[in-house]
């Protein structure tokens, strides 16, 4: 066992002395040492309940013959970090989590790990570490929050409040309504209840094979979720015994299946960024353009908030991720069912018998929202290396749009301008210098996109950025534009009033300028100066790579 290198032999008497002081007994010394990688923090509703949740896992490990050792990662609450300088730290926290899990696992030679993520960056951070280490691992998430309800029963979620801000600013709702939204949108612990980034990633882990069936949809603090924790604590012992490791599970076929699910369920655009980063750590160079090939073959079957009225509890009730995967399998033949998963069984075991129990929530392929998937990658002279859009969240009238550039040099400037009523309609809002290096930290633009929707401008303006979006963003919003402005991508060449053409069917994003004009404009720009005094973020800007490679740090 890996852990023999800290607990076997006379030369490890000091190590054992220390382990005894933590409560390890003589009998424990011959057992596998299992890390419980928790992410309990008080400030995130998706993590506030994970202390007792982690205990369920530890007890199960011990009952199955292992010795559990729990440690914690950080967890950023994107919704609280949103709309101010705090959001610059969100994506970089993913790298801190990956590196800290690697550090703890390597320093203490654990034999396996049960990872307990839930919200946005914690899932990819832990998954990146699991792929990097390639030591037996299983994931069990903290679970989604239930949807909120207005006093008359209308479903609410965090995005209702974000869009409420724009509606209040433009006089569409009063202060009492905004207060009601604030008080009712998030009823309890769990990851915010729509198909936002946390739930998207927790669902993708089922398709990847790194989490048990229903990991993405069984609500937090339910008997079903707690049973999943207990099963994960027992299953890690089998994975260690059989030496089934993450890279044996998360193969290229597994990533293809995860992105096929993403297309069918209309996941957050962040799944593209994080999926590329996790694949990179698994040693797989996943080409961004491959997503369009998958999107063209996989129907969009499920519209969950912000793209529709359903929430995770509805998806669970309707059959969950296994039911979506089964419908994709039956209608496209694309899903690789005979792949091993952390359950010790093949994907087929959970998927083939799964039925759709409510075909309003999970549509059948012959009645899909669209024949192509809910995400797309656009290319063109503004995005030579790609841009990402959640097509499932774009209204039909905005899938083809031409507008004049209204340029903001930062998210803060854009939010202030939008809320001050600067937009009239017919514009393409350009928010630049918010890429991985330029921001730095590639902020999510939920505040500006929600303000646009809340002010009723969603059918009148589009928005493009080298930053990224929240899973709660909807509308004609294209993000992750690569190369970013700080890397002198063409988005840096744009001037106020330039005419921009967006065509989602053609997967294109272009400005009506010649290549020579773009080149001329770029060479006149001054050298880029990092825009942060933060020591950590300054270091981050030196190592971060482009969004089309997952914005990972250079190896
Ligand atoms: C605040 C949210 C909804 O978590 C957002 O940050 C996301 O990425 O979905
Ligand atoms: Mg987020």
DSSP string, 67-110: EEEEEE-----HHHHTTSGGGGGHHHHHHHHHHHHHHHHHHHT-
Q: Is the pLDDT of residue 23 over 90?
A: yes
Q: Is the pLDDT of residue 227 over 90?
A: yes
ipTM over the 0.95 cut-off: yes
Does 120 carry a binding-site annotation? yes
List the catalytic residues: 470
Domain with CATH 3.40.50.2300 in the chain: 31-147+188-352
**Looking at residue 82, what is its pLDDT?**
94
For residue 406, what are the β-bridge partners?
Answer: 429
Strands 148-149 and 155-156: antiparallel
Q: How many CA atoms lie within 13 A of 255 on its CB side?
A: 28
Q: Is the peptide bond before 213 cis (omega within 30 degrees of 0)?
A: no
Structure-block tokens of residue 148: 């909120």
Q: Is the pLDDT of residue 47 over 90?
A: yes
**Looking at residue 360, what is its pLDDT?**
98
Phi first, then psi, for residue 426 (nearest 5°) are: 85, 5
The torsion defined by the Cα of 215, 217, 221 and 222, in degrees rounded to 10, comes to -100
Residue 444 CA, closest ligand 1 atom number: 6
Give the rounded distance of the alpha carbon of 368 from its chain centre: 24
Q: Is the pLDDT of residue 46 over 90?
A: yes
Kindly report the CATH number that applies to the domain delimited by 376-549: 3.50.30.80
Mutation choice for ligand 1 from 44, 79, 185, CB with most ligand atoms inside 8 A: 79
Q: Is the pLDDT of residue 555 over 90?
A: no
Cβ(37)–Cβ(114) under 8 Å? yes
Average pLDDT of span 338-359: 97
**Looking at residue 97, what is its pLDDT?**
98
Closest CA to 66 of 212, 233, 187: 233
Q: Is 78 touching ligand 1 by the criterion CB < 6 Å? A: yes
Structure-block tokens of residue 318: 């309707």
Q: Is the pLDDT of residue 362 over 90?
A: yes
Q: How far is the CA of 79 from the centre of ligand 1 (A)?
A: 6
Q: Is the peptide bond before 306 cis (omega within 30 degrees of 0)?
A: yes
Average pLDDT of span 36-54: 98
Distance CA 345, CA 348 (A): 8
Q: Is 469 touching ligand 1 by the criterion CB < 6 Å? A: no
pLDDT tens sequence across 114-156: 999 999 999 999 999 999 999 999 999 999 999 999 999 999 9
Percent of the residues in the chain that have a pLDDT greater than 70, as a whole number: 100
Strands 499-503 and 400-408: antiparallel
Distance CA 429, CA 449 (A): 10
Q: Is 162 touching ligand 1 by the criterion CB < 6 Å? A: no
**Looking at residue 118, what is its pLDDT?**
98
Cβ(272)–Cβ(480) under 8 Å? yes
Mutation choice for ligand 1 from 444, 449, 469, 473, CB with most ligand atoms inside 8 A: 444
Q: Is the pLDDT of residue 36 over 90?
A: yes
Q: Is 195 touching ligand 1 by the criterion CB < 6 Å? A: no
CB atoms under 10 Å from CB of 431, counted, come to: 31
Mean pLDDT for all residues in the chain: 97
According to DSSP, residue 487 is labeled G
pLDDT tens sequence across 443-458: 999 999 999 999 999 9
pLDDT tens sequence across 285-329: 999 999 999 999 999 999 999 999 999 999 999 999 999 999 999
Domain with CATH 3.50.30.80 in the chain: 376-549
Structure-block tokens of residue 453: 């929707």
**Looking at residue 424, what is its pLDDT?**
92
Q: Is 484 touching ligand 1 by the criterion CB < 6 Å? A: no
Instruction: Write the residue with the smallest CA distance to atom 1 of ligand 1.
Output: 79
Per-position b or e across 39-51, b if 16+ CB within 10 A of its CB? bbbeebbbbbbbe
CATH class of 31-147+188-352: alpha beta
Does 121 carry a binding-site annotation? yes
pLDDT tens sequence across 170-195: 899 999 999 999 999 999 999 999 99
Residue 200 CA, closest ligand 1 atom number: 9
Distance CA 481, CA 87 (A): 18
Residue 197 CA, closest ligand 1 atom number: 9
Average pLDDT of span 406-429: 96
């Amino acid at each position: 066992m890996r852990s023999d290198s800290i607990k076997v032999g006379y030369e490890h008497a000091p190590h054992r002395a220390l382990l005894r002081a933590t409560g390890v007994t003589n009998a424990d010394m011959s057992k596998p040492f299992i890390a419980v990688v928790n992410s309990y923090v008080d400030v995130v509703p998706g993590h506030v309940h994970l202390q007792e949740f982690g205990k369920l896992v530890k007890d199960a490990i011990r009952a199955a013959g292992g010795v559990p050792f729990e440690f914690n990662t950080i967890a950023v609450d994107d919704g609280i970090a949103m709309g101010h300088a705090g959001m610059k730290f969100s994506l970089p926290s993913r790298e801190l989590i990956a590196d800290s899990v690697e550090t703890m696992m390597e320093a203490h030679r654990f034999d396996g790990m049960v990872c307990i993520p839930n919200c946005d960056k914690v899932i990819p951070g832990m998954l990146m570490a699991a792929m990097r280490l390639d030591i037996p691992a299983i994931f069990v998430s903290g679970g989604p929050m239930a949807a909120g309800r207005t006093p008359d029963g209308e479903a609410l979620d965090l995005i209702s409040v974000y869009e409420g801000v724009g509606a209040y600013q433009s006089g569409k709702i009063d202060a009492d309504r905004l207060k009601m939204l604030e008080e009712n949108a998030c009823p309890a612990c769990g990851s915010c209840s729509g198909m936002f980034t946390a739930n998207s990633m927790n669902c993708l882990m089922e398709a990847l094979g790194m989490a048990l069936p229903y990991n993405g949809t069984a609500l937090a603090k339910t008997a079903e979720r707690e049973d999943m924790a207990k099963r994960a604590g027992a299953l890690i012992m089998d994975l260690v015994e059989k030496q089934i490791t993450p890279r044996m599970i998360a193969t290229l076929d597994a990533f293809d299946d995860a992105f096929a699910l993403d297309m069918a369920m209309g996941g957050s655009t962040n799944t593209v960024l994080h999926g590329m980063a996790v694949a990179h750590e698994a040693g797989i160079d996943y080409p961004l353009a491959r997503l369009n090939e998958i999107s063209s073959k996989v129907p969009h079957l499920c519209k969950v908030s912000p793209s529709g009225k359903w929430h995770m509890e509805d998806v669970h009730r309707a059959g969950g991720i296994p039911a979506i995967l089964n419908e994709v399998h039956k209608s496209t033949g694309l899903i690789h069912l005979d792949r091993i998963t952390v359950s010790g069984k093949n994907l087929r075991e959970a998927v083939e018998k799964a039925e759709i129990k409510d075909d309003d929530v999970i549509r059948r392929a012959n009645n899909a929202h669209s024949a192509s998937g809910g995400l797309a990658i656009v290319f063109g002279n503004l995005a030579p290396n790609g841009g990402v859009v959640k097509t499932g969240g774009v209204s039909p009238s905005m899938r083809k749009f031409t507008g004049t550039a209204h340029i903001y040099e930062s998210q803060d400037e854009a939010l202030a301008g939008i809320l001050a009523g600067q937009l009239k309609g017919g514009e393409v809002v350009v928010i630049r210098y918010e890429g991985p290096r330029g921001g730095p930290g590639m902020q999510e633009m939920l505040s500006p996109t929600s303000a646009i929707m809340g002010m009723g401008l969603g059918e009148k303006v589009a928005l493009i950025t080298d930053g990224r979006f929240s899973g709660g963003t909807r509308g004609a919003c294209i993000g992750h534009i690569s190369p970013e402005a700080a890397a002198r991508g063409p988005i840096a060449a744009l001037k106020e009033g330039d005419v921009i053409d967006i065509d989602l069917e053609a997967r294109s994003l272009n400005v009506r300028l010649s290549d020579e004009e773009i080149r001329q404009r770029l060479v006149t720009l001054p050298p880029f100066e990092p825009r942060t005094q933060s020591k950590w973020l300054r270091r981050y800007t030196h190592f971060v790579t482009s969004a089309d490679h997952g914005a990972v740090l250079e190896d």
